[in-house]
Amino acid sequence: MTAETRLDERLVYDPFARETQEDPYPLYAAMLERAPVARNEERGFWTLCRFADVQAAARDWKTFSSDEGVDLDFMAKLMCGPGDFLDYDPPRHDQLREIIKRRFTPKAFEQLTPRIQEIVDDLIDDLLERGGGDIVADLASPTPIRVVTALLGFPQEDLEMLTDLQAKSITRTPGELQLPKVALDATD
């Protein structure tokens, strides 16, 4: 087996592999160049690296069905359960999408803008008061959960607990196939 053959063997995308989580960019570049369409047999999914291929697959739902789910582990089913419209093909997907799309109109987002701006301003103010911080941990990560909990009307005093549960629910151990106990416990 040559070095080239060994390199080609690793041209399988596995989001749970330690190497992928530590630095995925060399693999991305190699796959884009030499394996833009690749199958992960162990996990049972295809990786499409080129935009045109992704776009074509998204439009061809008869060939590339979502009916078996779009997640690589069962975590989404624990949290979302039946009715997650991402796990349906047309016409059911379109029916469910129609129900929620009224909440995602330009006017609806315009009305949300002041609240989202307030949340981001508060997070930035915290960073400034501390004299700096980590832009991902202190701004990018907390913004979505704060926006969602505000939109859903959760009390602010529950924010820390909900943030902790959300973080635990997406916890993965690099290289491990099973979900860690902390992730499973967060959904109970």
Q: Which amino acid is at 123?
A: L
The pLDDT tens digits for 121-134 are 999 999 999 999 99
Query: How does the average pLDDT of the chain come out, rounded?
Result: 82
What's the pLDDT score for residue 117?
96
The residue ranges of the chain whose pLDDT is under 70 are 1-10, 71-85, 175, 177, 187-188
The total number of structural domains in the chain stands at 1
In a domain, 171, yes or no: no
Which residue segment(s) compose the domain that 16 sits in? 1-64
Task: Please report the sign of the dihedral spanned by the C-alpha atoms of residue 122, residue 126, residue 131, residue 132.
Answer: negative
In a domain, 75, yes or no: no
What's the pLDDT score for residue 22?
86
In a domain, 77, yes or no: no
- Rg of the chain, C-alpha, whole Å: 20
What's the pLDDT score for residue 7?
41
Element (H, E) at 115: helix 106-130
What's the pLDDT score for residue 100?
78
What's the pLDDT score for residue 133?
94
